[in-house]
């Protein structure tokens, strides 16, 4: 898989965006592990899951990066052509660029992202269970149905699988909107505001995936569509996993403070800015 030829700037764009995503995933993974102690134990599971999502994605970005580097070779004046004198990059014979890593990644990380969203709410066990039983199978179905379309070069086939995948996608959004609204009513005001932000972030970033998927359908020539899809998926991944994870942390910390005044007291005293005041 992959287009036959990329011009110099197209190649560099994909190379850099994949590298950026890899760095973001690793940094967020470390951050989320380090801050475990800054929330109450009941919220730590959400942070652990969020850190796992970033680690799984970092691993896959590493594989995607290697696959991309191995799939293309520089051509230009002089031989061998290098990044310095390359005019363009062509797909070499061999394994090609493996698009499958993204889907394997999503198959693991998308259910985990939904799990961490539900975990940070610290709901009653039955409510939690019923939410997860709806969200997790739907998310797996969404990714599985999208894959045959992703690897097809026939726009008709792409469209059909894409439409099928959109059904569980809409169902997930529906559950998150209706059921999350219900549990939001019982949350402290600041938490309610952040949960709303979390939902909007989820809608805005998850919405990028079907749009990036559709790029080849819009009649954009194939190298441009390939680059657009790689950039779209990578940026959306950084927002949907890293920024989302940081927001989960913020909510977990606010909920910890709201749940336990002595924990809040201790944490505020431990903050460097208040040392001089005491």
Which residues of this chain interact with ligand RET, rule CB under 6 A?
Answer: 106, 109-110, 113, 142-143, 146, 162, 165-166, 169, 206, 209-210, 213, 237, 240-241
Pairing of strands 72-76, 5-7: unpaired
Closest CA to 237 of 48, 71, 103: 103
Closest CA to 120 of 53, 187, 61: 187
Which CB, 241 or 253, lies closer to ligand RET? 241
Q: State the nearest-atom distance from the C-beta of 92 to ligand RET, in Å.
A: 27
Query: Can you tell me the distance from the alpha carbon of 209 to that of 166, in angstroms, rounded to the nearest whole number?
Result: 11
Does residue 138 contact residue 172 with C-beta atoms inside 8 Å? Answer: yes
Q: State the nearest-atom distance from the C-beta of 45 to ligand RET, in Å.
A: 19
Q: State the nearest-atom distance from the C-beta of 138 to ligand RET, in Å.
A: 11
Query: Can you tell me the distance from the alpha carbon of 180 to that of 167, in angstroms, rounded to the nearest whole number?
Result: 19
Query: Can you tell me the distance from the alpha carbon of 271 to that of 278, in angstroms, rounded to the nearest whole number?
Result: 11
Q: Which residue is nearest to ligand RET (CB)?
A: 146
Does residue 179 contact residue 131 with C-beta atoms inside 8 Å? Answer: yes
Q: State the nearest-atom distance from the C-beta of 253 to ligand RET, in Å.
A: 23
Which CB, 86 or 176, lies closer to ligand RET? 176
Tokens 């792409």, residue located:
158
**Which residues are bridge partners to 97 per DSSP?**
none
Which CB, 43 or 209, lies closer to ligand RET? 209
Query: Can you tell me the distance from the alpha carbon of 275 to that of 268, in angstroms, rounded to the nearest whole number?
Result: 9
Which CB, 110 or 195, lies closer to ligand RET? 110
Omega before 80 cis (within 30°)? Answer: yes
Q: State the nearest-atom distance from the C-beta of 27 to ligand RET, in Å.
A: 16
Q: How far is CA 37 from CA 9, 123, 249, in A?
A: 44, 21, 11
CA 156 to chain CA mean position, Å: 27
**CB-hemisphere CA count at 13 Å for 151?**
14
Q: State the nearest-atom distance from the C-beta of 174 to ligand RET, in Å.
A: 13
Q: State the nearest-atom distance from the C-beta of 167 to ligand RET, in Å.
A: 9
Does residue 151 contact residue 159 with C-beta atoms inside 8 Å? Answer: no
């Amino acid at each position: 898989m992959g287009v036959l030829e990329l011009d110099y700037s197209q190649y560099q764009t994909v190379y850099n965006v994949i590298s950026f995503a890899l760095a973001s995933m690793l940094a967020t993974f470390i951050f989320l592990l380090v801050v475990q102690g800054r929330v109450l134990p009941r919220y730590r599971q959400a942070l652990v899951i969020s850190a796992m999502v970033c680690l799984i994605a970092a691993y896959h970005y590493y594989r995607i990066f290697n696959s991309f580097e191995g799939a293309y070779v520089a051509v230009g004046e002089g031989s061998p052509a290098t990044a310095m004198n390359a005019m363009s990059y062509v797909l070499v014979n061999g394994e090609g660029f493996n698009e499958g890593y993204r889907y394997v990644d999503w198959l693991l990380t998308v259910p985990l992202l939904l799990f961490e969203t539900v975990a940070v709410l610290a709901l009653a066990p039955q409510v939690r269970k019923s939410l997860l039983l709806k969200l997790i199978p739907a998310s797996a179905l969404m990714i599985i149905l999208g894959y045959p379309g992703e690897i097809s070069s026939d726009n008709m086939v792409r469209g059909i699988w894409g439409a099928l995948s959109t059904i569980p996608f809409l169902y997930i959004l529906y559950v998150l909107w209706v059921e999350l609204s219900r549990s939001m009513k019982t949350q402290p005001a600041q938490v309610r505001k952040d949960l709303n932000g979390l939902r909007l972030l989820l809608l805005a970033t998850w919405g990028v995936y079907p749009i990036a998927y559709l790029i080849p359908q819009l009649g954009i020539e194939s190298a441009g569509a390939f680059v657009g899809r790689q950039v779209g998926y990578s940026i959306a991944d950084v927002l949907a996993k890293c920024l989302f994870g940081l927001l989960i942390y913020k909510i977990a910390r606010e909920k910890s403070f709201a749940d336990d005044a002595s924990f809040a007291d201790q944490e505020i005293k431990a903050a460097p800015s208040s040392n001089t005041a005491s």
